[in-house]
Amino acid sequence: MKLIAKLVIGIIAGILIGLMDVQWITQLFVTIKDIFGQFIGFVIPFIILFFIVSGVSKLGSSSGRLVGATVGTAYASTILAGIFAFIVASTVMPFIHATESEVGEGSGIAGFFELEIAPMMGVVTALVTAFLFGIGIAKTNSETLRKFFDEGKEIIELVITKIIIPFLPIYIAGIFVEMAAEGEVFNTLQVFGIVLLMVIISHWVWITIQYVVAGILTQQDPFKLIKNMLPAYFTGVGTMSSAATIPVTLKQTKKNNVKEEVADFAVPLCATIHLSGSVITIVTCAVAVMSVLGEYSIPSIGEMLPVIAMLGIIMIAAPGVPGGAIMAALGVLETMLGFSGGAIALMIALYMAQDSFGTATNVTGDGAINLIVNKIAKKNSGSAGESSASL
């Protein structure tokens, strides 16, 4: 059975089991979800470290330029996504007459026991270390270090293919069991259905824009490219973590004719720095909250630009944790938009109701960023070849 079908079954089964509200079954799935989530968190720094080093070290003298191109393209996509979301939300929200309603808080279901599997390093530490060694190996041609990281990558790939990917549907089912049992998402969707629908539509419009641009640059059918990335989208919906979705994103990105050495460093990198879906959600929900509460005035595009730019920076380390993006963004909302405690609570409720869809947009967009970076890599290698020939 294809991965996408298993993921959909996991989501549906999780919701149905959660709605049954059988305490011990719910706790069992929550326990499994918690333990496997800890394991994924433990493995993620190794994925980032070994995959980025292995990929960057093979790019030779162009590695620094390609890292810069990846970071620049991802950040530009995030900022443009925020501007797009603000234009849509500020245009639509004045026509929506929202009614006041209370948003319930989750009861917080605990598993049978807790097992902490602390990662050996943080995501940012792994990222900086990967750049340091990857570019260093590319410049020094150290075969010993290159072999070490290549063999480390093979071990991590084995963990991904034999443990993480086969177990993902059960992990996703556990997440949806908890969500359905607590009832938080459904209550929130009842109150803010129109806003969330607008967010999800904006996500898909932005994904389409990204792949139309990537398709034009690479001369490929954008809708075929999107179709190939659907398993990553649905995995993102279930895991609510860009970092946890890296294995699937990597696999599907390579199916879109992205070179292995480019995907191996650009996919883990984009999982940390490319947050277009999260920014769309936060900007849209912020405008919605300001409209609903009535005590705020919606800022102009000029006033909102610094907020969007700061969101793109402040959330860099957030994708590894479900809901991490909104938690990282709270400081920006408080200091730059003046959100009070009530507005913050409303933002958290709105964001968490669709966190999975924002994450799915992030990881699906990563594939488009990789296509663009792959094009830049080909152009650089072509230019290098012409220079060599002329010499």
Domain ranges across the chain: 3-104+119-382
Q: What is the per-residue pLDDT for 156?
A: 83
**What tokens were used for 326?**
């909104």
Q: What is the per-residue pLDDT for 84?
A: 95
Q: What is the per-residue pLDDT for 316?
A: 58
Cα angle, residue 246 at apex, residues 61 and 47 outer, rounded to 5°: 60
- Is 283:88 a contact under the CB 8 Å cutoff? no
In sign, the C-alpha dihedral spanning 336, 340, 345, 349 is negative
- CA of 330: how far to CAs of 325, 346, 372, in Å? 9, 12, 32
User: Could you list the pLDDT tens digit for every one of the 391 residues in the chain?
Assistant: 466 677 778 778 887 888 887 777 878 888 887 788 788 778 877 877 887 787 667 655 555 677 778 888 888 999 999 999 999 988 887 776 544 444 433 445 666 667 777 788 876 687 788 878 988 887 888 888 988 988 988 888 788 778 877 887 887 788 778 767 766 545 544 556 788 888 999 999 999 999 999 999 988 999 999 999 999 999 888 777 777 788 899 889 999 988 888 888 888 888 877 889 989 999 998 888 887 766 777 888 888 999 898 888 766 545 445 556 776 677 778 778 888 766 776 677 677 767 788 889 999 999 999 999 888 887 765 554 544 444 4
Q: Which residues, in sequence order, are CB contacts of 164 under 8 Å at separation 6+? A: 40, 43, 247
- Is 105:24 a contact under the CB 8 Å cutoff? no
Residue 252 CB-density burial (10 A; 0-12 exposed, 13-18 middle, 19+ buried)? buried
Q: What is the per-residue pLDDT for 88?
A: 92
The residue among 320, 33, 348, 332 whose CA lies nearest residue 171 is 33
Distance CA 356, CA 322 (A): 8
Q: What is the per-residue pLDDT for 368?
A: 92
| Residue with tokens 């209550």, as numbered in its chain | 187
How many residues does this entry show for the chain? 391
Annotate 28-56 with b (16+ C-beta within 10 A) or e (fewer).
Answer: bbbbbbbbbbbbbbebbbbbbbbbbbbbb
Distance CA 264, CA 340 (A): 42
Q: What is the per-residue pLDDT for 101?
A: 45
Q: What is the per-residue pLDDT for 271?
A: 81
**What CATH number should be reported for the domain whose range is 3-104+119-382?**
1.10.3860.10
| Residue with tokens 């989750």, as numbered in its chain | 106
Whether pTM > 0.85 for this model: the answer is no
The residue among 40, 46, 77, 43 whose CA lies nearest residue 370 is 77
**What tokens were used for 211?**
């792949």
Cα angle, residue 25 at apex, residues 44 and 38 outer, rounded to 5°: 15
| Residue with tokens 């034999």, as numbered in its chain | 162
**What tokens were used for 332?**
């920006």
Q: What is the per-residue pLDDT for 315?
A: 65
The residue among 303, 299, 328, 330 whose CA lies nearest residue 313 is 328
The residue among 389, 391, 383, 390 whose CA lies nearest residue 61 is 383
